[in-house]
A and B are shown apart, each in its own frame.
Chain A
Amino acid sequence: MTKAGVTRRGLIKGAASVAIVLAAAKGGQVFLSSSPAEDRNQRDYSKGLSEHEANALRRMVECLFPYQGLDEGVYQLVVDGVSDTQGVEQVGQLLINGVKQLDKAADGSIWLELPEGRQVASLKAIESTEFFQLMLNASIHTLHSNKALWELIGYQGSSIQFGGYIHRGFNDIDWLPEQAS
Chain B
Amino acid sequence: MTRFDLSDASVVVVIGSGAGGGTLANELAQKGIKVVCLEAGRRLSLADIVNDEPVMFKRMSWLDPRKGEGQMHPQFPSWTCKTVGGTTMHWEGQCPRFQEHELKAKSTYGDVSDSSFIDWPVGIQELEPYYHKAEDKMGVTGKNGRPFLPGNNNFKVMEAGAKAVGYKDIDTQHMAINSVVRDGRPSCQQIGFCNSGCAISAKWSTLYTEVPKAEATGNFELRPESMVARIHHDDSGRATGVDYYDQHGVLHHQKARAVCVAGNAIETARLLLNSKSEMFPNGLANSSDQVGRNYMTHFTICVISVMPKPVNFHRGTQMAGVVRDEMGNDESRGFWGGYSINPVPFPPEFLAKHLEYGAWGEELTATMEKYDHLAGLMMMGEDPPQANNRVTLDPEAKDQHGMSIPVVRYTDHPNTTKMKSHALRQAKAIHAALGAEKSYEIMTLPATHNLGTARMSEDPTQGVCNQWGQTHDIKNLFVSDGSLFSSSGCANPTLTIVALAMRQAEFIASNLKQQTI
Q: Is B157 in contact with A173, judged by CB distance below 8 angstroms?
A: yes
CB-CB under 8 A from B73, the residues of chain A are 28-31
A8-B47, A165-B190 as given contacts; A21 in contact with B153, CB under 8 Å: no
List CB contacts (< 8 Å) of A16-60 with chain B.
18, 21-23, 27-33, 36
B32 in contact (CB, < 8 A)? no
Q: Is A141 in contact with B65, judged by CB distance below 8 angstroms?
A: no
Residue of B51, B160, B353, B360 near A33 (CB, 8 A) is B353
Bound CA–CA A33/B74 (angstroms): 15
B200 in contact (CB, < 8 A)? yes
Residue of B47, B48, B152, B358 near A170 (CB, 8 A) is B152
The count of residues in chain A whose C-beta lies closer than 8 Å to any C-beta of chain B is 63
The count of residues in chain B whose C-beta lies closer than 8 Å to any C-beta of chain A is 72
A1-B187, A68-B369, A179-B159 as given contacts; A11 in contact with B47, CB under 8 Å: no
- The interface-forming segment of A84-92, A98-106, A153-161 is A153-161
B262 in contact (CB, < 8 A)? no
B244 in contact (CB, < 8 A)? no
Q: Is A169 in contact with B315, judged by CB distance below 8 angstroms?
A: yes
CB-CB under 8 A from A118, the residues of chain B are none
Residue of A153, A160, A165, A176 near B368 (CB, 8 A) is A153
Q: Is A4 in contact with B186, judged by CB distance below 8 angstroms?
A: yes
CB-CB under 8 A from A27, the residues of chain B are 358
CB B394 to nearest CB in A, in angstroms, measures: 15
CB-CB under 8 A from B164, the residues of chain A are 177
CB-CB under 8 A from A2, the residues of chain B are 186
Bound CA–CA A32/B52 (angstroms): 13
CB-CB under 8 A from A140, the residues of chain B are 349, 352-353
CB-CB under 8 A from B362, the residues of chain A are 66
List CB contacts (< 8 Å) of A100-144 with chain B.
120, 127, 136, 139-141, 143-144
CB-CB under 8 A from B75, the residues of chain A are 21-23, 28, 30
CB-CB under 8 A from A22, the residues of chain B are 75-76
Residue of A29, A136, A168 near B315 (CB, 8 A) is A168
A120-B361, A165-B192 as given contacts; A8 in contact with B199, CB under 8 Å: yes
Bound CA–CA A168/B76 (angstroms): 36
Q: Is A179 in contact with B186, judged by CB distance below 8 angstroms?
A: no
B462 in contact (CB, < 8 A)? no
CB-CB under 8 A from B189, the residues of chain A are 3, 160, 163-166
CB-CB under 8 A from B47, the residues of chain A are 6-9
Bound CA–CA A22/B75 (angstroms): 7
CB B38 to nearest CB in A, in angstroms, measures: 24
Output the nearest chain B residue to A116 by Cβ-Cβ distance.
B362
List CB contacts (< 8 Å) of B11-30 with chain A.
none
Q: Is B186 in contact with A31, judged by CB distance below 8 angstroms?
A: no
Q: Is A149 in contact with B348, judged by CB distance below 8 angstroms?
A: yes
A29-B357, A65-B360, A170-B152 as given contacts; A179 in contact with B163, CB under 8 Å: yes
A136-B360, A171-B153, A173-B156 as given contacts; A66 in contact with B445, CB under 8 Å: no
Residue of B54, B58, B309 near A175 (CB, 8 A) is B309
Q: Is B193 in contact with A66, judged by CB distance below 8 angstroms?
A: no
Bound CA–CA A160/B191 (angstroms): 6
Q: Is B160 in contact with A153, judged by CB distance below 8 angstroms?
A: no
A-contact bits for B335-360, CB 8 A (1 contact / 0 none)? 00000000000011111110001101
A145 in contact (CB, < 8 A)? yes
Bound CA–CA A137/B365 (angstroms): 15
Bound CA–CA A98/B152 (angstroms): 46
B46 in contact (CB, < 8 A)? yes
CB B31 to nearest CB in A, in angstroms, measures: 31
A72 in contact (CB, < 8 A)? no
CB A166 to nearest CB in B, in angstroms, measures: 4
B311 in contact (CB, < 8 A)? yes
CB-CB under 8 A from B510, the residues of chain A are none
Residue of A32, A36, A171 near B151 (CB, 8 A) is A171
Residue of B157, B353, B361 near A64 (CB, 8 A) is B361
B280 in contact (CB, < 8 A)? no
Q: Is A30 in contact with B76, judged by CB distance below 8 angstroms?
A: yes
B310 in contact (CB, < 8 A)? yes
CB-CB under 8 A from A150, the residues of chain B are 348
CB B78 to nearest CB in A, in angstroms, measures: 10
CB-CB under 8 A from B412, the residues of chain A are none
Q: Is A153 in contact with B310, judged by CB distance below 8 angstroms?
A: no
CB-CB under 8 A from A32, the residues of chain B are 53-54, 57, 349-350
A172 in contact (CB, < 8 A)? yes
CB-CB under 8 A from B369, the residues of chain A are 67-68, 152-153
CB A156 to nearest CB in B, in angstroms, measures: 7
List CB contacts (< 8 Å) of B67-105 with chain A.
73-76, 79
Output the nearest chain A residue to B435 by Cβ-Cβ distance.
A175
B384 in contact (CB, < 8 A)? no
Bound CA–CA A18/B163 (angstroms): 46
CB-CB under 8 A from A169, the residues of chain B are 153, 312, 315
Q: Is B55 in contact with A31, judged by CB distance below 8 angstroms?
A: no
Bound CA–CA A31/B53 (angstroms): 12
Output the nearest chain A residue to B180 by Cβ-Cβ distance.
A1
Q: Is B371 in contact with A153, judged by CB distance below 8 angstroms?
A: yes
CB-CB under 8 A from B353, the residues of chain A are 30, 33, 140
A residues at B contact (CB < 8 Å) = 1-4, 6-9, 11-12, 15, 18, 21-23, 27-33, 36, 63-68, 120, 127, 136, 139-141, 143-145, 149-150, 152-160, 163-166, 168-173, 175-177, 179
Listed by A's residue number, 15 A-B pairs whose Cβ atoms lie within 8 Å are A8-B51, A21-B76, A22-B75, A30-B75, A64-B360, A139-B360, A145-B348, A160-B193, A165-B189, A165-B191, A170-B192, A170-B316, A172-B312, A173-B312, A176-B156
Closest 5 CB pairs of A and B: A154-B372, A164-B189, A170-B316, A158-B51, A153-B371
> Apart from A31-B73, A168-B315, A169-B153, what 6 extra A-B contacts exist at CB < 8 Å?
A1-B187, A27-B358, A28-B74, A31-B79, A156-B314, A173-B311
